[in-house]
Amino acid sequence: MKTNFKSLLKVSIIVAATSAMGFSIAAQANANKGGVLSWLTSASPGHFNSAIRSGTATGQPAAQIFASPLRYDAEWNPQPYLAKSWKLSDDGRSLTLNLVDNATFHDGQPVTSADVAFSLMLVKANHPFKTMFDPVTAVDTPDAHTAIIRMDQSHPAILLAMSPGLLPILPKHIYGDGQDIKTHPANNQPVGSGPFKFVEYKAGEHIILERYEDFFIEGRPYLDKIVMRIIKDGANRTISMERGEGHLLTFEDRARDINRMSKSDSLVITDQGYAAIGPLTWLAFNTTRAPLDNKAVRQAISYAVDKDFIINALMLGKGSHSNGPVAPGSPYTASNVETYGLDLDKANALLDAAGFAKGDDGYRFSLEVDFIPGLPLLKAVAEYLRPQLKKVGIKVTPRPSPDFPTWAKRVGGHDFDMTVDVVFNWGDPVIGVHRTYLSENIRKGVIWSNTQSYSNAQVDALLEQAGKETDSAKRIALYQEFQKIVVDDAPISFITTMPYHTVYNKDLRNLPTTIWGAMSPLDEVYWDKQ
Amino acid sequence: MPRIKSIAKRSLNIVVLLSAVLILNFFLLHLAPGDPAEVIAGDMGGATLELLAEIRTLYGLDLPLHEQLGNYLSRVIQGDLGYSYSYNLPVTELILGRLFPTLLLVLSAMFLSITVGTLMGVLSARKPNSLFSHVLTFVSLAGYSAPVFWSGIMLLIVFASIWPIFPVSGMQDIFRDPGIINNILDIAVHLVLPVITLSMIYLAQYSRLSRVSMMDVLGSDYIRTARAKGLSETTVLFKHALRNAALPVITMAGLQFSNLFAGAVLVETVFNWPGMGSLAFESILRRDSPTMLGILFFSSLIVIMANLLTDFAYGLVDPRIQKKD
């Protein structure tokens, strides 16, 4: 994986293979055309404009409707998409995209460099992930099929930011008509240049997408239609899949249902396809509150939490270990850090040494633990902490929130001791990792900022350097050093990955198991038998 | 003349009641900490302080509460219930689209629980200590005690998974054959499990209530007279006794209507029924207050109308009440 990533950054010109979309062509020589895909999801999107709204509810359908400059394979290698080739300059401060010349939007208008420039600047101004295009100063368009992205500093994350989930190419002639983009009518009636065009959305019920006949990749997509059914109830989703009414289910995290569906002969289950999203479940500490302002206390709690129990008993074996800020599967994942294996003696010793002796009631001190409501797994982890941390003399009281805004208000407002949380990496560390640890990102009132109030000048410097470093090996080394410090400082006790799984019908082929999974186009998916 | 006066008084009551509902709900919803900007930030996987501020300005959430209320009331008077944060649609459009499925579900469940429940009550009142009567009591109480979400999922597992007779979710099959008859049949098949689930709780109440009031009526003199006249048991039961025993059932039906609406929230969620209940569930989680307020407004309106209808039905069944009016 390291070699792959190295080639990604070092090679300055990558020209696409003989065919415009060179990869996995052989495997699809016998692909059947036609058929309908019934895709079950629990989330209903507010709208479909992924240029101004992130999240999986919007991201999954939007990746079908909008094409993007690049897409990614399962090994973190960029692949041609709307850009048939691209060149990152030696100083890393400009990226030239050479666009295919046969791409059209669903209304028949050609896709040009002006649309790329418009979309990128729109994302920069409106998307919540500000770090993604922060260094971009301008997008030059010397001709209709060349776009040059100019940056005021080297910014290696720029290549990953060309992904379908992060940079959808919007038609300038529709979205650039002067109306406010946040309430633009086309957000609910999207027009893109992706493999499927939008047909209908019934809020909270279903989304219907149809094959775009003039899609710029010859012969694709294979499916005639995608019907996304929004089903809130987990049991209902499971039964629908078992009955064959659903063919694809993504982002399923209910371990019991995953186990149940794994017994069905007609279903295939995989945990591939979530590497770039990098969903981490962790226990975060408010490092400004006593006694959690003491590093030894945070380390002691980390040693006292039995991660194997959480994975095997609470997640029924469906999760996997995560040992640091970067999710497993990324080229930057921590490899040589303290893993805080269960060690109650060490935890007790650390707490004793820190001066927190046990009182008459057997407790040293008491803490509250928050958790995101509506996710049963996080509640289970919070409740597990009560008996587990009692073993080291810490009295833990779970503090439930009635709904998400209440939790967000408490944690975002720094009014908490500890919280069980799920945070996504979103591909490059610059996008989803830096925000949790940079001291300049301690912003009261903003959820998923540095709500731990963690501040370490060395970490700030390392992150700034890593964000700009164009040499892949050096960048990896910087992130390793950063993670070693953070794991030792323990503002967060890293527990597991969120056990997201994809379930699909065994007759479906080419389901995306790339790093972006279902947040990438399903143009290669086909039915083996119809 | 007194009739017109009574209608005018009633209408005034309705207006006052609806305004009170609107204002009270508005404050109730704003008592909770946090706001929809947090939910939008949550969906997005994070946001900046500037973006949160922008969202709050966009939806007028940064204004003082009394100004928000003023804006809201003046819009409602003009027939505009606001704009949904989470669906990006006008609330009125959103709710009107969900009204028919909910009314269909609730009215079908009501019809089923009243007819079957009353029939069960009448039959068991005839011989209150028979085995048949005890079985009916057991069945109806079991239905009453089981939580809706549990009985719904059990029905799903049995009749949609083990014996896949009925569809799992939704109101209509997206891939159904065209044509009006197919359309109606398709909805009917989808309706079966949710209606049974929803009516199970109320079935018990109607059967217990009609049993007690039938037993009461069956002991009265005029029933003895009817029997002495040599009338058949069916005529005595359904023509003479039931008409009097039905009054408490009608009262109950009027009161139950609002409860059925509440029950619909859970049933619609379990069966993915595209009605106001599942919309309410979703908008509570998303702190989508315009939609919540809209749903509460519509359901209050429907409940008030149902109460009016109950009073009207009372008059039809028992002419003495009409005269007193």
Question: Looking at residues A377-381, what average pLDDT do you find?
Answer: 94
> Cβ B42–A404 below 8 Å, yes or no?
yes
What is the ipTM for the molecules in this complex? 0.78
pTM for the whole structure: 0.86
Residue A21: its pLDDT value, please? Answer: 40
Assigned domain for B2 exists = no
Question: Looking at residues A23-32, what average pLDDT do you find?
Answer: 55
CATH hierarchy code of domain A279-497 = 3.10.105.10
Residue B2: its pLDDT value, please? Answer: 63
Q: Are B134 and B269 members of one domain? A: yes
Assigned domain for B218 exists = yes
Q: What is the helix (H) or strand (E) element at residue A434, kind and residue range?
A: helix A434-437
**Pure H helices in A230-343:** 234-242, 255-262, 295-304, 307-309
The closest CB to that of A445, out of B49, B86, B168, belongs to: B49
Question: What's the one-letter identity of residue B45?
Answer: G
Residue at which a domain ends, from B42, B77, B112 = B77
Q: Is the pLDDT of residue A16 over 70?
A: no
Residue A19: its pLDDT value, please? Answer: 38
Q: Is the pLDDT of residue A7 over 80?
A: no
pLDDT digits (tens), chain B, 325 positions: 566 787 788 888 888 988 898 899 888 888 877 777 887 777 766 777 777 888 788 778 888 888 888 888 888 888 888 888 788 888 998 899 898 999 999 999 999 998 998 888 888 888 888 888 888 888 888 888 888 889 998 998 899 888 888 988 888 887 777 788 888 999 999 999 999 999 988 888 888 888 888 888 888 888 888 888 888 888 888 888 887 777 788 888 877 777 777 788 889 988 989 999 889 888 888 888 889 889 988 888 888 888 888 877 777 777 776 555 4
What is the residue-averaged pLDDT of chain A? 91
Assigned domain for B3 exists = no
Measured between beta carbons, which residues in chain B are less than 8 angstroms from residue A448?
41, 45-46
Question: Looking at residues A350-358, what average pLDDT do you find?
Answer: 96
Q: Are B68 and B105 members of one domain? A: no
How close, in Å, is residue A310 to chain B by CA atoms? Answer: 24
The closest CB to that of B272, out of A55, A236, A424, belongs to: A236
- Give the pLDDT band of residue A405 (cuts 50, 70, 90): confident
> Cβ A239–B156 below 8 Å, yes or no?
yes
Q: Are B202 and B113 in contact (CB under 8 A)?
A: yes
Q: Is the pLDDT of residue A2 over 70?
A: no
The closest CB to that of A447, out of B41, B169, B270, belongs to: B41
Query: Could you tell me the two tokens for B129?
Result: 């200590």
Q: Are A364 and A351 in contact (CB under 8 A)?
A: yes
CATH hierarchy code of domain A5-17+34-272+500-527 = 3.40.190.10
> Cβ A233–B87 below 8 Å, yes or no?
no
Burial of residue B163 (CB within 10 Å: 0-12, 13-18, 19+) is exposed
Q: Are B289 and B179 members of one domain? A: yes
Q: Given the DSSP bridges, would you call strands A279-285 and A508-509 parallel, antiparallel or unpaired?
A: unpaired
Q: Are B173 and B298 members of one domain? A: yes
Q: Are B182 and B225 members of one domain? A: yes
The more confidently predicted of residues A190 and B235 is A190
Q: Is the pLDDT of residue A396 over 60?
A: yes
Assigned domain for B103 exists = yes
Query: Could you tell me the two tokens for A487?
Result: 């794991």
Instruction: Provide CB contacts within 8 A for B170, sequence distance 6+.
Output: A205, A229, B190, B271, B272, B273, B274
The closest CB to that of A233, out of B33, B44, B269, belongs to: B269
Q: Give the single-character DSSP code of A433.
A: T
Residue B323: its pLDDT value, please? Answer: 56
Of the listed ranges A44-53, A61-70, A452-461, the least confidently predicted one is A44-53
The more confidently predicted of residues B17 and A149 is A149
Question: Looking at residues A1-20, what average pLDDT do you find?
Answer: 41
Q: Are B235 and B269 members of one domain? A: yes
Of the listed ranges A14-23, A287-296, A413-422, the least confidently predicted one is A14-23
Gap between the Cα atoms of A241 and A273, Å rounded? 19
- Indicate left, alpha or beta for A312 from its phi (over 0: left) and psi (-120 to 50: alpha): alpha
In degrees and rounded to multiples of 5, residue A262 shows phi and psi of -70, -15
Question: Looking at residues A344-370, what average pLDDT do you find?
Answer: 96
**Pure H helices in B127-241:** 131-145, 148-156, 180-218, 221-228, 233-234
Mutate to test the interface with B, among A205, A441, A447 (most CBs of B within 10 A): A205
Q: Are B103 and B59 members of one domain? A: no
> Cβ B44–A203 below 8 Å, yes or no?
no
Q: Kindly calculate the radius of gyration of chain A based on its CA atoms and give it in whole angstroms.
A: 24
Residue at which a domain ends, from B77, B108, B125 = B77
Residue B161: its pLDDT value, please? Answer: 85
Residues of the domain holding B196? 98-324
Which CATH number goes with the domain that contains B165?
1.10.3720.10
Measured between beta carbons, which residues in chain A are less than 8 angstroms from residue B169?
229, 231, 233, 236, 240, 245
Q: Are B114 and B70 members of one domain? A: no
Question: Looking at residues A506-520, what average pLDDT do you find?
Answer: 93
Q: What is the dihedral of CA B13, B18, B23, B27, to 10 degrees?
A: 120
Q: Where are the domains of chain A?
A: 5-17+34-272+500-527, 279-497
Q: Are A78 and A157 in contact (CB under 8 A)?
A: no
| DSSP 3-state of A497 | strand
Residue of A nearest to B169 (CA): A236
Residue of B nearest to A187 (CA): B88
User: In degrees, to the nearest 5, what angle opens at C-alpha A484 toward C-alphas A479 and A487?
Assistant: 115
Please spell the DSSP secondary structure of A23-66, one letter per residue: TTTGGGTTPPP--EEEEEES---S-S-TTT--SHHHHHHHHHH-
Closest to B61 measured CA to CA, from B93, B41, B79, B35: B35
Gap between the Cα atoms of B57 and A109, Å rounded? 35
Measured between beta carbons, which residues in chain B are less than 8 angstroms from residue A449?
46
Q: Is the pLDDT of residue A281 over 50?
A: yes
| DSSP 3-state of A67 | coil
Gap between the Cα atoms of A255 and A297, Å rounded? 32
User: In degrees, to the nearest 5, what angle opens at C-alpha A193 toward C-alphas A190 and A194?
Assistant: 90
Q: Are B278 and B178 members of one domain? A: yes
Sign of CA dihedral B167, B171, B176, B178: positive
> Cβ A47–B47 below 8 Å, yes or no?
no
Q: Is the pLDDT of residue A168 over 60?
A: yes
Of the listed ranges A445-449, A523-527, B127-131, B241-245, the least confidently predicted one is B241-245
Q: Is the pLDDT of residue A57 over 50?
A: yes
Assigned domain for B258 exists = yes
Measured between beta carbons, which residues in chain A are less than 8 angstroms from residue B44?
53-55, 128
Q: Are B55 and B141 members of one domain? A: no
The more confidently predicted of residues A74 and B7 is A74
Q: Are B223 and B283 members of one domain? A: yes
- Give the pLDDT band of residue A22 (cuts 50, 70, 90): very low
Residue A18: its pLDDT value, please? Answer: 35
Number of domains in chain B: 2
Residue A212: its pLDDT value, please? Answer: 97
